[in-house]
Amino acid sequence: MEAPQYSGLTGALDYLSDRVLAPGTLVRVPLGKRELLGIVWHGAAAAPTDYTLRPVAEVFDALPPLAPDWLALVDFAAGYYQRGVGELALSVLPPELRKLDAAGLSQRLARLVKQLDKLAAAPAPVPDAPVRPALGAEQQAALLAFEAALTQPRPMPMLLHGVTGSGKTEVYLRATEQVLAAGRQVLVLVPEINLTPQLEARFAERFPKHRLVAMHSGLTPVQRLQHWLMAHLGRADIVLGTRLSVFAPLPNLGLIVVDEEHDPSYKQQEGARYSARDLAIYRAHLERVPVILGSATPSLETWQRSEPGPQQRYQRLTLAERVGGGALPRVRLFDMGVLPKVAGQSPVLAPMVLASLQDRLARGEQSLVFLNRRGYAPVLFCADCGWKSGCPHCSAWRVFHKGERTLRCHHCGFTERVPRACPDCGNLDIAPMGRGTEKLEEQLAELLPGARIARLDADTARGKGQLESRLAAVHAGDVDVLVGTQMVTKGHDFRRITLVVALNPDSALFASDFRAPERLFALLMQAGGRAGRDAEASARSEMWVQTWHPRHALYTALKTHDFGAFALSQLEERRAAGLPPYSHLALLRAESRDPAVALAWLREASELAAALPGAAGVTLYPPVPPSVSKVAGIERLQMLVEAGSRLQLQRLLADWMPALHGLRGRHKGLARWAIDVDPLAI
């Protein structure tokens, strides 16, 4: 009799089994009065010493065990991000699989696997002869570097740095081709579900004889299970998906590609707050396969690690030119300070910017106007008594949505009809302050009579298929001016756009979050990248930035499309301030209806940490409220922990976190707490 361990919410649990079970085997086990899905984590122990152990209820023999590398990845992620191994493992399995705790599903699983057999046996409908363009010199060099990496026992991660349209995807495709030819699997990560169809189509078209599966939250539960099984059984050659797919079981992994590696959506923002980009790098290291990180505006962490020198840890490959010689748009800054105000307000568009839009209309070309704020106006205001449309549950304003006549809180969702008069003084004349995309759309319609204007933001893309239909309209040329939030800047290949306008993006320059400038630069580069992808039109493609700070260094670097210069100046600032990548951070968050409770808990947590041996050289900052301190009636506080090295931080967390679990009972009213390792925003 053996006693394999079951990895549960708090750690591994022991069970009896009458045969040796390999680590990674899926089982059904009793826990309390229920039966749950479990994964055999460690190998079998010797004869059990504890005869109260309960036996494993069922072993799912229809599936091969999860590979040791997969278990090691989950083990690492759980340790690094401070979550229970079992909790993390089960949360990254397809939800349908978790239903295996019910009896009878073993047969169902066996049936599903049989169905996949049929799927996999289907002959490819088209011969494998897609068009492959001859590579440019820089692409060729990148591919050679990749080929060299393939022969290394431990390939260095590769950063493929190139603007939109420089041919990065073509390099991914060529690298994929080689790995597929060697009979191995390729994992391609994309930041957003909206970006999967485009890339999926390109991979599918290039590799018609290979099987590609997608993994993202848009799939039905059964599709998710099927695709997961395809990956796990080694029948999918290419897995393309969002951050969760970094945990796809791939017995034969040969390459990981992380497209738009800088994108914040790679970081999970709840539960196990993992970075899929960072885990991809770890996984590649673990499985000794190459990883390609692609971006026009790499994260400063990645950029710094790829700086040539003795500290260099990633290889940097550059694609400096756009394919076909298309130029990057000419970036022009308009100083909003020079415009006279009318009735205390600056005009929406500077005259020159308006003229540029009119010019595109006259030529039948498309424009994109980018404003990173949705809704009609961020707040309603009563000039008589000073009332503002605050959210009663959050420390935030409720946004005015004109079309639906509502005031909606973007933090807790609390929505009410717009009041006809000021709720405080009865004044009938309450007015919107500021501008969101909805108002901008209305103003553009007035300024550009006859123009076909479409808006793309989280509000207009909410319904099923709405995003797709809007994008299709843009592609079909049925839209002259596309207005939207950052959603419009991502990945979509709009060939006919020759003008991009960014309206007043200055607020990020002065945000408290140290990553705000990095993010703004990436957004603007990406927005600019939408223009001029068509070589013929690129000669007159432009990007206008309306700003109050035209001399800011960020805009100067933007004008010359010089990411290197921007990164250098930012890294200098980060070094001087001791911020990442020159330090390592964790954020301890606490939430409670009573802020005093959260504060007291954080203070005690801090004292606990300070007394630990691992605290030497680690800075524990005092608790502070985040920028939005109250959401849905719950007050939040956070405490920053800063260490000189990753190891130092991890050592402290390893001792500290278990101690924190015991602390809670003494703080009645603490709603919850969480640790965020390598937080994106502080």
Does the protein bind ligand ADP through residue 323 (CB under 6 A)?
Answer: yes
3-state secondary structure 269-331: CCCCCCEHHHHHHHHHHHHCCCEEEEECCCCHHHHHHCCCCCCCCCEEEEECCCHHHCCCCEE
Structure-token pair, residue 93 = 């399995």
Of residues 523 and 643, the one with the C-beta less far from ligand ADP: 523
Does the protein bind ligand ADP through residue 329 (CB under 6 A)?
Answer: no
Does the protein bind ligand ADP through residue 230 (CB under 6 A)?
Answer: no
Residue 498, classed as helix, strand or coil, is strand
- 289 CB contacts (<8 Å, ≥6 apart)? 155, 184, 253, 254, 255, 256
The one-letter amino acid at 76? F
CA distance 323 to 321: 6
* Backbone torsions φ then ψ of 546, nearest 5 degrees: -90, 115
Does the protein bind ligand ADP through residue 168 (CB under 6 A)?
Answer: yes
- 556 CB contacts (<8 Å, ≥6 apart)? none
CB of 322 to ligand ADP, least distance (A): 8
Q: Which long-range contacts (CB under 8 A, 24 or more apart) does 608-614 make?
A: 608/656, 608/659, 608/660, 608/663, 609/641, 609/652, 609/656, 612/652, 612/655, 612/656, 612/659, 613/655, 614/648, 614/651, 614/652, 614/654, 614/655, 614/656
Does the protein bind ligand ADP through residue 139 (CB under 6 A)?
Answer: yes
Does the protein bind ligand ADP through residue 538 (CB under 6 A)?
Answer: no
Contact by Cβ (8 Å): 369, 410: no
CB of 261 to ligand ADP, least distance (A): 13
Sheet strand arrangement including 497-503? 330-335, 542-547, 497-503, 366-370, 481-484, 453-456
What is the x/- site pattern for Zn ion, positions 427-456, by CB under 5 A?
x-----------------------------
Pick from 387, 514, 582, 621 the residue near Zn ion by CB under 5 A: 387
Does the protein bind Zn ion through residue 393 (CB under 5 A)?
Answer: yes
CB of 199 to ligand ADP, least distance (A): 9
DSSP state for residue 495 in the 8-state scheme: T
Strand-pair partners of 543? 331, 500
Pick from 59, 195, 394, 483 the residue near Zn ion by CB under 5 A: 394
Instruction: Select the span of 134-142, 234-242, 544-552, 601-609 touching ligand ADP (CB under 6 A).
Output: 134-142
Pick from 4, 94, 162, 191 the residue near ligand ADP by CB under 6 A: 162
Using CB distances below 5 to 8 A depending on partner kind, what does residue 368 bind out of ligand ADP, Zn ion, none?
Answer: none
Angle between helices 68-80 and 646-661 (to 10 degrees): 80
Pick from 62, 135, 624, 671 the residue near ligand ADP by CB under 6 A: 135
Instruction: Looking at residues 324 to 383 of the shown chain, list those that interact with Zn ion (rule: CB under 5 A).
Output: 382
Of residues 497 and 631, the one with the C-beta less far from ligand ADP: 497
Of residues 159 and 670, the one with the C-beta less far from ligand ADP: 159
Does the protein bind ligand ADP through residue 130 (CB under 6 A)?
Answer: no
Does the protein bind ligand ADP through residue 164 (CB under 6 A)?
Answer: yes
Does the protein bind ligand ADP through residue 136 (CB under 6 A)?
Answer: yes
CA distance 369 to 444: 10
Instruction: Select the span of 162-170, 356-364, 438-446, 548-556 touching ligand ADP (CB under 6 A).
Output: 162-170
Does the protein bind Zn ion through residue 384 (CB under 5 A)?
Answer: yes
Using CB distances below 5 to 8 A depending on partner kind, what does residue 162 bind out of Zn ion, ligand ADP, none?
Answer: ligand ADP
Q: What residues make contact with Zn ion under the rule CB under 5 A?
A: 382, 384-385, 387, 391, 393-394, 409, 411-412, 414, 422, 424-425, 427
* Binding stretches for ligand ADP (CB under 6 A): 133-136, 139, 162, 164-170, 323
